[in-house]
Amino acid sequence: MSKTKEIRELSDEQLSLTLTESQRELFNLRFQSAAEKKSAPSEMRKLRRNIARINTIQRERALAATK
């Protein structure tokens, strides 16, 4: 199943929670990167893209609610 499909199935509260967790994890990876303890550089890309997907879906829902 596609990542986007899974995200679309989440409720608004779950989306907000997932977004917060992803942002926190990205911050931790950036902190580790600055401290030269970087484990997986591809993980940062995955998190950024996941955050973008969540933001896009939240925006779509907000626009649909205003119509």
CATH code of the domain covering residue 51: 1.10.287.310
When divided into structural domains, the chain yields a total of: 1
Tokens of 45: 């890309």
Average pLDDT over residues 10-31: 95
Asked whether residue 27 carries a pLDDT value surpassing 80, the answer given is yes
Average the pLDDT over 37-65 and give the result.
Answer: 92
The pLDDT of residue 49 is 96
pLDDT of residue 1: 41
Q: What is the value of pTM for the model shown?
A: 0.87
Q: What is the mean pLDDT of the chain?
A: 91
CA distance 61 to 55: 10
Range of the domain at 31: 3-66
Burial 41-52 (b: 16+ CB within 10 A, else e): eeebeebeebbe
pLDDT at 38: 67
